[in-house]
Chains A and B, each alone.
Chain A
Amino acid sequence: MSSWAFFCTVIRRDLFLAWQQRGDLLVGLVFFVLVACLFPLAIGPEAKLLSRIGPGVLWVAAILANLLALPRLFQADWQDGTLEQLLLAPAPAGMMVAGKIVAHWLTTGVPLTLIAPLLGVQYGLSSDLLLMLMATLFIGTPVLSALGSIGAALTLGVRQGDMLLALLVLPLYAPVLIFGSGAVAAVAGGLNGYAELSLLAAIACGSLFLAPWLAAMAIKLAVE
């Protein structure tokens, strides 16, 4: 089996498993919506303030929702021994991790991107802001899944793994958050925001290239 076929098989398998437990995916989405709804309750319903903090709040909520979904990447496969079998396949382990990252993004990042405009409307964002928000989430959420895969692999089976995962991964997410919400803020300020978007895309290319390889190394440590 070629590496490419292996990659596609892993994606198809993970998507199938995710579809069978689609309730779990819904929980993540509801969490995203809830966090976004808590902020107006805490800060107050003033429309001007809400439209100013909206992009940042939605980005932070997206990051937290992604963090909540990260253990799903490898945990179940590691517990029932599937991960070991996947490592035995005659294809690079990095391809397996890349497939899992893509499947994870399709089941968390893409739904978040699709539901974000709905919440954006609640925050009073105009249509070009909503478009930019969707674009940044579309490019930024793969980075979250890719960097998160390293953290998830490192904390497999570790004491207090989920707490530790947050500590490891959140500082690494800082640049994505900055450029993601920065692009939307730039559009709000009258610029086009393409500079931030390009930098976000550059981070996406770099992390998608390197992360599978590093995460595969970390998985081998957990399986040994």
Chain B
Amino acid sequence: MKPHADGPRWLNIFHFASPYQFYPLAGRLIPLFATLAVLLAMAGLWLGFAIAPADAQQGEGYRIIFLHVPTSWMAMLIYVAMAFWSVMHLILRTRLSAMMAQALAPTGALMAFLSLFTGALWGKPMWGTWWVWDARLTSMLLLFFLYLGFIALTRSIDEPDRADKAGSVLAIVGVFNVPVIYFSVKWWNTLHQGASISMEKGSTMASTMLIAMLLMSLAAWMYAITTTLSRVRNLILQREARTRWVQELLAIPANKA
């Protein structure tokens, strides 16, 4: 790649594609996103649990929506982000892209798990059951398995180069499959059970509820970015442990102590 001499360096996206350049940038961004995550979550929780009115039908129980919806959104979005970085990795051959995909996966799996868990907690008082074979529940469960498969595959290949590319191929196969799985499950469900329990709340949602949910979603975004960046930093240190700059970086605290 020919370096661009003209223009400021932050205009060149490939500048930060080098792990050496990205490591300090990620380090500077983490406190920013962590602070935003905490502030947004505090505002969202306050609005959601203290200010928002109780639901006409569901009473206080509905308030788990402020955790359930953001985690569900993030679980789906993170998989798309993973697939995006995988495509970037296969096209541009940038190592950092594959590291980003691998750093995103555990957070995505966590979000999918939390989505299922909070869904079950919500389902018990509202529907009278922990689990229904609803289209959304089933496809979220399969998405969770796709995350686990991706993590297991990239962890069990020892050569980093092959792990990167194998993970990228898998993420791309998975992202094609997520919509197919969703629609097939949806169709299967409606075919067998007739009218299923709808989770749509319509447009009757109070505006404070909506704002609280959006705040919580933004908090989930910021949390995901924070954890991903710190995981990428660890991955960079592991992968580049033999390079000089990492050894120098790690030597500094040892000298001071």
Contact = CB atoms under 8 A, between A and B. Distances in A.
Interface of A: 147, 150, 154-155, 158-160, 164, 167-168, 170-172, 174-175, 178-179, 182, 185-186, 199, 203, 210, 214, 217-218, 221-222, 224
B29 interface: no
A217 B173 CA distance: 12
B142 A174 contact: yes
A171 B145 contact: yes
A174 B186 CA distance: 12
Contact of A182 (B162, B172, B188): B188
B166 A218 contact: yes
Interface of B: 142, 145-146, 148-149, 152-153, 156-158, 162, 165-166, 169-170, 172-174, 176-177, 180-181, 184-185, 187-188, 191-192
B181 A224 contact: no
Nearest to B156: A159
Contacts of B145: 167, 170-171
A164 B148 CA distance: 10
Contact of A154 (B169, B176, B181): B169
Given A154-B169, A158-B153, 16 more contacts: A154-B170, A158-B156, A164-B149, A167-B149, A168-B152, A171-B145, A172-B173, A172-B174, A174-B181, A175-B177, A175-B180, A178-B185, A179-B188, A185-B191, A203-B180, A221-B166
A171 B146 contact: yes
B156 A164 contact: yes
A170 B145 CA distance: 9
A174 B187 CA distance: 13
A97 to B, nearest CB: 13
B180 A168 contact: no
A186 to B, nearest CB: 7
Given A154-B153, A171-B146, A186 B191 contact: yes
Nearest to B189: A178
Contacts of B158: 159
Given A214-B169, A214-B172, A218-B169, A175 B184 contact: yes
